[in-house]
Structure formats: structure tokens, C-alpha cells
Amino acid sequence: MALDHFKASALPNPPVEYDPQHMRQLIRGIELYFSQLDSKATQNSEKYTADTFQGGKFIGDGKDINVPYAQLVSTVDQSAAAIDQAYAITYTGTDFAVDISITSSSRITFVHPGKYIISYSIQFQNTQNSLEYIDIWLRQNGTNVAGSNTRFSIPARKSAGVPSYLVAVTPIMLSVAATNDYAQVMFRVSDTAVTVEHLPAVTYSAGVTPAIPATPSVIVGVQFVSS
């Protein structure tokens, strides 16, 4: 770390002749200056800069900070084979990512320890003629995170061939202790007719619909909060 524009202590003006009192004041002023340089509490410094800090890095000329973040997406359908099993949400790619990556298709893997907010948006489809339930929670390094579950209910289908939809959205804060720790978004459904669904892009049709971009089945945002 470097100090910029550090303010030196004021030194007494020299007398015409030798004066012990003046020498004591001069030595005291010099001692004070160097004690401030050695101190971590640089109160007399106008500013100080560093090359790195825990949880991120400086970029450019040091005025901008680059902290970990990511937006992960899935553009495919996902389903559960059984109602008594938990399944990890998987991803097909990233829209943005700095020091966060996808490993083993479902693991959100971190470079820097710290506190993170994981916000998921998952689109479910129900083709069953009954209201069903969905549980979504976090798993960290293979272990369920206590108190992280949210339950959603998805309405019965509207009619045969016309399913109902639900977008499950929740932000959760997670503490990451070590490099290469990972988190997974887990889900279970009360009926296998409930699936995670993507929708293709819609082209413009006069008098019918505007052009609509594709709908990912999953969007997960990850944001660094604090070291």
C-alpha cells in the first residue's frame, strides 16, 4: 500500500543561536512524522492506494474496483425423475462472470471467500390437472444450507395442452469460506409433471404478437457483498 500526498509535521523555525528547547521540539516533530508513516492509522494522509484487496481487484488506474459477480443461465428444459429426490439446477452458459464459474454443470464455484447474494429466477411448467408444490434451496459443498428453502405452489394446467407457469424468484445470502467452495441451487417437485421450462423466441406476427426474445428456463445472479 502506498501513501499519497502525506502531510509532514510542522517544524519550528530555527533560532539565531543554539537553543536546547528548539532542538527538542525539532526532534519531537521528526519523531512524530516517522511515527505517522509507521502507523496503520494514516490520519494525516490525503489518500492511500493499494494494488489488491480481499474479495476483488483494482482495474485501470486504480479508481475502479472489480468485484466477483456472475449471471448464469440455462436455455434447456430440466425435469425430475422422482418426487422423493432432490435435483441440482444446471446451466448451459454465463451472460457475465468475473471470478465465478460453473463446474460440473451445476456448481457455482467461487475464487474469493466472502459474503454473496445468490438470486435465482426459475420458470416452472405444470401439465398436471392439479395444484402442485415446488421446494427450492441451496446446497453448499454438497451439504444443504440450513434455513435456505422456499416453497412455491404452481396452479393446475389451464386445459389439456395449455400448461400453467410459475416463475420462482428468491435472493439468498451465502457465506463462502474458502477458494473453490461451490454452491448449488436444488429443487424438488410434488409431481414429475412439473418441469423447468424454457421458451423459444417468438417472431413478429402482424395483429398477433410482437417479437419476443427467448425465455431462459433459469437465470441465476451472483453478487459479491463483503469479504
User: Mind listing the pLDDT tens digit for each residue in 88-117?
Assistant: 999 999 999 999 999 999 999 999 999 999
Q: Find the mean pLDDT for residues 150-179.
A: 94
The predicted-structure confidence for 167-189, as pLDDT tens digits, reads as follows 999 999 999 998 899 999 999 99
- The CA distance from 225 to 69, in Å, is 10
Q: Do 198 and 30 touch, CB atoms closer than 8 A?
A: no
- Cell 425435469 -> residue: 79
Cα(14)–Cα(67) distance, integer angstroms:
52
Which of 26-40, 111-125, 176-190 shows the lowest mean pLDDT across its residues? 26-40
- Helix ranges (DSSP H) in the chain: 20-38
- Residues 51, 103: Cα–Cα separation, whole Å: 29
**pTM > 0.75:** no
Select from 198, 169, 199 the least CA-distant residue to 74.
198
What kind and span of H or E run contains 136?
Answer: strand 132-140
Amino acid, single-letter form, for residue 105: S
All domains of the chain in start order, with CATH: 2-49 (no CATH), 65-226 (2.60.120.40)
